[in-house]
Amino acid sequence: MAKNIPTKIYLSEEELPRQWYNLRADMKEQHDPFLHPGTLAPIKLEELCGIFIEELSKQELNFTDRYIDIPESVCNFYRMIRPSPLIRAYFLEKILGTPAEIYYKFEGTNTSGSHKLNSAIAQAYYAKEQGLNSITTETGAGQWGTALAMACSFYGLDVDIFMVKGSADQKPDRLEVMKTYGASVTPSPSNKTEIGKRIQQEKPGTTGSLGCAISEAIEVCASRESCKYVLGSVLDYVLLHQSIIGIELKTACEKYDIKPDIIIGCAGGGSNLGGLIGPYMGDKIRGKNNIKFIAVEPKSCPSFTRGKYAYDFGDTGKITPLLKMYTLGNGFIPSPIHAGGLRYHGMSPILSKLYHDGYLEAVAVGQKSVFDAASMFSKCEGILPAPESSHAIKIAIDEALKCKESGEKKTIIFGLTGTGYFDMSAYRMYNAGKMEDTELSDEDLQKGFSSIPDIPQNR
């Protein structure tokens, strides 16, 4: 019998995780290794350390330690912003008239407004530990940049952020928050880098892309002493840090005898989803549950559902290591949809492998239906959701409605990754009835695919 379940489940400070969970240690097969872009050989630790922070590079290559200690200082910071609540969506259930139980793990309670701070604080910590002076990064929608700006100001590090131009234009206030925390922010593509200049020449008037902003951030980093480049999603070490979401979730569920049937998350680069489902996925791999895991992506950037499983660069400038992942091609530039955090061409190699092996499902949804879901959710649950998060809401609602039809009393959990306060231009369009779904043609896709490198491993 399920216990009486409060609307908001908070863990106590003592129950906060002191270790991250490394899902790779439980995977039956590992994803294919990162390749050096020059030699096409599996990348070595020393090579990774050339661009990335040393400790993070080690975490990136670690597929043996199931648990990794969270540094004391990071634990202390987590105490300030965590635990995040697991909320029973009683009102949403009621309005849907579903027998399903719906819960969401809400990561939007900190100033950055998303889960990104979970990894940002760890990355800034390791940068400081390594004695670096500065780090560079890219940001799409701006949540990652904000989180990293906060983390860097906490540890006294300089940070240079390249923000996708289309997004910077849409969200000038986001940019200002980053500056308030002392970050230097440049809309990308910019004239600060060779690659930025080149991309502007090739695609005049471009609104930019994450892949392009990454290239700029890496170029600036390479030109500096004591500087490294950091990334807010996709990489294995980011999923490792985000596992804090899933560990808290599982602890809370076990405390109240909640047994999930379906766990849903939006997927941009895969970090929140990977973190959210991590511990339960580990159990599934070991045959201990049969939970259905669903990744939700936008129809205009459908890496899982229409992408290729291939080695590709993480960036448009083709300078990162090659990652085996579901990808639309590093040259793919999605239409400037309103869920900026879901516009990346690739996908986490861990999640790509799990999807490929059938442990994870994926669906793509149009942004109009996503905002319908966001609007319904905001009215009954009292939280104005980020457009990214609303992709998960949309599918949670769909699954709950299926239960209504079949009479099944499933337990549905989704990740509510953040709040939408800086997405007012999106909500404004929606409210004015002007939100549009752009169709992505096979021709558009082909253009992106043609940028996937033609290497022996892809043939």
Ligand X SMILES: *Cc1c(COP(=O)(O)O)cnc(C)c1O
Binding residues for ligand X, rule: CB under 6 A, are: 114, 116, 141, 143-144, 233, 266-273, 341-342, 386, 388-389, 417-418
In the complex with ligand X, the residue whose CB is nearer, 190 or 272, is 272
Give the single-character DSSP code of 418. Answer: B
Residue 292 CB-half CA count within 13 A: 13
Token pair 């129950």 is found at: 15
The string of DSSP letters for 140-170 reads SSSHHHHHHHHHHHHHT-EEEEEEEHHHHHH
Give CA–CA dist 114/106, Å, rounded.
9
Decide whether 263 or 386 has the Cβ nearer to ligand X: 386
Closest to ligand X by CB, 132 vs 427, is 427
Work out how close the CB of 31 gets to ligand X at its nearest, in angstroms, rounded to a whole number: 16
Q: How far is the CB of 44 from ligand X (least distance, A)?
A: 26
What is the DSSP secondary structure assignment for residue 437, as one 8-state letter?
P
Q: Which is nearer to ligand X, 98 or 166 (CB)?
A: 166
Residue 92 neighbours by CB distance under 10 Å: 23
Peptide bond into 83 cis (omega under 30): yes
Least distance to ligand X, CB of residue 262, Å: 18
Q: Whats the size of the chain, residue-wise?
A: 459
Q: Between 106 and 449, name the residue whose CB sits nearer to ligand X.
A: 106
**Between 140 and 331, whose beta carbon lies closer to ligand X?**
140
b/e 363-379 (16+ beta carbons within 10 angstroms → b)? bbbbbebbbbbbbbbbe
- Give whichever of 253 and 392 is closer to ligand X, judged by the CB atom: 392
Q: How far is the CB of 37 from ligand X (least distance, A)?
A: 23
- Shortest Cβ distance from residue 422 to ligand X (Å)? 10
* Nearer to ligand X among residue 260 and residue 274 (C-beta): 274
Cβ atoms of 254 and 200 closer than 8 Å: no
Q: Which two tokens stand for residue 404?
A: 């209504």
Q: Report whether 369 contacts 339 (CB < 8 A).
A: no
- DSSP sequence for 332-374: ------S-GGG--SS--HHHHHHHHTTS-EEEEE-HHHHHHHH
Least distance between ligand X and beta carbon 246 (Å) = 12
Q: Could you tell me the smallest distance in angstroms from the CB atom of residue 205 to ligand X? A: 25
Alpha carbon distances (Å) from 414 to 40, 116, 265, 402, 410: 38, 17, 6, 16, 13
- Residue 270 or 448: the one with the smaller Cβ distance to ligand X is 270
Element housing 226 (H / E): none
Question: What is the nearest approach in angstroms of ligand X to the Cβ of residue 212?
Answer: 17
Q: How far is the CB of 257 from ligand X (least distance, A)?
A: 28
